[in-house]
C-alpha cells in the first residue's frame, strides 16, 4: 500500500465508492461515519491524508478542519473536502483549513493526482522535521521577510488588470505580468508563479512549469496553475508534474488570493527549513570556537585528494604545553590562544591549503599539490609565525608566548586518510620528543 487514507462521510455508499477507488490505486483506507469518530481515528491512527464530506454535522466539516489544524498531532495532515457546491463553499472549506475542496461527483483522475501531490509535499516536510535534536531546524517566521514577488504568465487568457487586483487582494508585494521568455530568462526568480491558460493551451503551461522546475533559481518557487474546469487531464497532469496548486479559471478573486497566500506561506516555511538545514550542516563540519573546519570536514577532503592521485602533504600541529595555559590562566585564556593561533596559521596558509581544528590543541593542515620541500617550508613558516609574538589574554591578564610542534607527511597516491594522518602524528611525536617548537618529517616521506 502507498498510503493510509481516512474517509469521513455520513453516507455509507459514498464511503464504499471512495474505498473502492482508493484501493484500486493501492491506498489503504480507514472509515468514519461522523466527524467525532474521524477526529478520534485521526489522532490515534495518524493517516497519511483525510477526505472529508462537506455535509458532516455535529461537529461540522469546517469545525473538524479547524480542530485538525489546532491539534499538533494532526495539523500537518493533508485534508481534502469533497462535495463542495460552488466557489463560496469551496473558499469556506479552504479558510477552515482544508488543503483543497472538490465537487461531487468526484473526478477520480484529479482526486488521485491531488492526493499524490499532497502526500509528496507532506513527505518533504517530514524529511525536514526528522532533525537531530539540537540541530536548530527552527520554523519561526522571520519578522523582516521581504515582500512577496509574484509573476503572472498568461497563455491566451487576457491579463487585464489582474496584477494590480492581485496585489491589492494579497495586501502588497510585487506582482508583475511576464511573458514566457521573461519568466524563463529572468535572473531573479519570483516567489510564486501564476500560470493561467485558456483551453487548448494547457500543454504550454505544463511545459513552462517543467522548465521553471528545472532551473536552479526557480525550482523552489511556488507554482500555481489556473485552468478551465473542463481541462480534466491537464489539471491532473499539473499536479503530477509538480504544481503547488491548480485553481479553477472561474475562481473568485478572493479564492485565488487565498490560495496564493497559502502557497506563499508554505514556500517561505520550506525556505526557512532549507536555510536551517544548511546552517545545521555547516555547524556539523565547523569548529564552533575557531570557525575552522573540523575533523568531519577535513578527513573526506584528504581522502578525495588522495583518490585523485595528486601530490599532497598533511601537517599535524600541536600547541606545546597548552595544558599549562589552561591550568595557569583558565580555559578562557586557552580559548583565546586557540582563536589567535587559528588566525595566524590561517593567514600563513592562505589559499594554498585547508586548516582544521581536530580536537583540543590539535590542528591539521592539508596542502594539495605540495611536494616535500613546499610542505617543509610551510611547516617552518607556521612554526615561526606562532612563536613570533605573544598572545593577548582576556580580562587584562598578562600576554603569553606559545609555540607549536609540527609533523609533516607527504601523501602517496590513493593512500588512506587515516594512514597519512598516522604518519604525520608520528612525526609530530618526534618533534615533541626532540624538544618541541620543531618541525619533523615522516621517515617514509624523507
Residues 6+ apart with CB under 8 A from 168: none
State what percent of residues in the chain have pLDDT above 90. 77
> What is the reported pLDDT for 214?
94
> What is the reported pLDDT for 388?
93
Output the average pLDDT for the chain: 91
To 10 degrees, the CA torsion angle through 249, 251, 252, 258? -110
- pTM, rounded to two decimals: 0.77
To 10 degrees, the CA torsion angle through 56, 58, 60, 65? -110
pLDDT tens, 338-360? Answer: 999 999 999 999 999 999 999 99
- 147-284 has CATH 3.40.50.2300 classification: yes
At residue 152, the 3 state secondary structure works out as strand
> What is the reported pLDDT for 2?
75
Domains 147-284 and 295-442 share a fold: no
- 1-125 has CATH 3.30.530.20 classification: no
pLDDT tens, 131-161? Answer: 444 444 444 555 456 788 999 999 987 767 7
pLDDT tens, 291-322? Answer: 999 999 999 999 999 888 888 999 999 999 99
> What is the reported pLDDT for 184?
93
**Residue 444 above 80 pLDDT?**
no
> What is the reported pLDDT for 445?
53
**Residue 278 above 70 pLDDT?**
yes
To the nearest 10 degrees (0 to 180), the angle between helices 87-96 and 253-284 is: 30
> What is the reported pLDDT for 58?
83
Which sequence spans correspond to the domains of the chain? 1-125, 147-284, 295-442
- 295-442 has CATH 3.30.70.270 classification: yes
Amino acid at each position: 500500500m502507498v498510503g493510509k487514507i481516512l474517509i469521513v462521510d455520513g453516507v455509507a455508499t459514498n464511503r464504499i465508492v471512495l474505498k473502492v477507488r482508493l484501493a484500486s490505486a493501492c491506498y489503504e483506507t480507514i472509515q468514519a461515519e461522523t466527524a467525532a469518530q474521524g477526529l478520534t481515528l485521526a489522532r490515534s491512527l495518524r493517516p497519511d491524508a483525510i477526505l472529508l464530506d462537506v455535509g458532516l454535522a455535529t461537529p461540522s466539516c469546517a469545525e473538524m478542519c479547524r480542530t485538525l489544524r489546532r491539534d499538533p498531532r494532526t495539523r500537518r495532515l493533508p485534508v481534502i473536502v469533497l462535495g463542495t457546491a460552488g466557489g463560496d463553499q469551496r473558499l469556506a472549506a479552504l479558510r477552515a483549513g482544508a488543503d483543497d475542496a472538490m465537487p461531487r461527483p468526484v473526478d477520480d483522475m484529479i482526486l488521485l493526482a491531488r492526493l499524490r501531490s499532497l502526500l509528496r509535499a507532506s513527505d518533504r516536510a517530514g524529511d525536514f522535521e526528522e532533525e537531530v535534536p539540537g540541530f536548530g531546524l527552527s520554523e519561526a517566521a522571520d519578522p523582516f521577510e521581504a515582500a512577496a514577488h509574484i509573476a503572472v504568465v498568461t497563455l491566451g487568457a487576457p491579463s487585464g488588470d489582474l496584477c494590480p487586483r492581485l496585489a491589492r487582494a494579497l495586501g502588497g508585494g510585487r506582482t508583475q505580468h511576464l511573458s514566457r521568455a521573461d519568466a524563463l530568462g529572468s535572473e531573479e526568480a519570483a516567489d510564486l508563479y501564476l500560470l493561467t491558460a485558456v483551453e487548448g493551451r494547457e500543454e504550454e503551461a505544463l511545459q513552462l512549469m517543467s522548465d521553471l522546475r528545472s532551473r536552479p533559481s526557480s525550482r523552489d518557487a511556488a507554482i500555481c496553475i489556473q485552468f478551465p474546469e473542463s481541462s480534466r487531464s491537464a489539471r491532473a497532469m499539473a499536479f503530477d508534474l509538480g504544481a503547488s496548486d491548480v485553481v479553477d479559471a472561474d475562481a473568485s478573486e478572493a479564492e485565488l488570493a487565498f490560495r496564493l497566500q497559502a502557497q506563499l506561506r508554505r514556500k517561505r516555511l520550506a525556505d526557512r527549513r532549507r536555510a536551517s538545514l544548511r546552517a545545521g550542516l555547516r555547524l556539523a563540519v565547523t569548529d564552533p570556537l575557531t570557525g575552522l573546519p573540523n575533523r568531519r570536514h577535513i578527513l573526506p577532503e584528504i581522502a578525495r585528494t588522495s583518490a585523485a592521485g595528486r601530490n599532497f602533504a598533511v601537517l599535524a600541529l600541536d600547541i606545546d604545553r597548552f595544558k599549562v595555559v589552561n591550568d595557569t590562566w583558565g580555559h578562557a585564556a586557552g580559548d583565546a590562544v586557540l582563536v589567535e593561533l587559528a588566525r595566524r596559521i590561517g593567514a600563513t596558509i592562505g589559499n594554498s591549503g585547508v586548516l582544521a581544528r581536530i580536537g583540543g590543541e590539535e590542528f591539521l593542515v592539508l596542502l594539495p599539490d605540495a611536494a616535500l620541500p613546499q610542505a617543509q617550508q610551510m611547516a617552518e613558516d607556521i612554526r615561526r609565525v606562532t612563536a613570533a609574538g605573544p598572545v593577548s589574554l582576556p580580562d587584562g591578564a598578562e600576554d603569553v608566548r606559545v609555540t607549536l610542534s609540527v609533523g609533516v607527511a607527504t601523501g602517496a597516491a590513493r593512500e588512506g586518510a587515516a594512514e597519512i594522518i598516522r604518519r604525520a602524528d608520528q612525526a609530530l611525536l618526534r618533534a615533541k620528543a626532540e624538544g618541541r617548537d620543531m618541525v619533523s618529517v615522516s621517515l617514509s616521506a624523507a
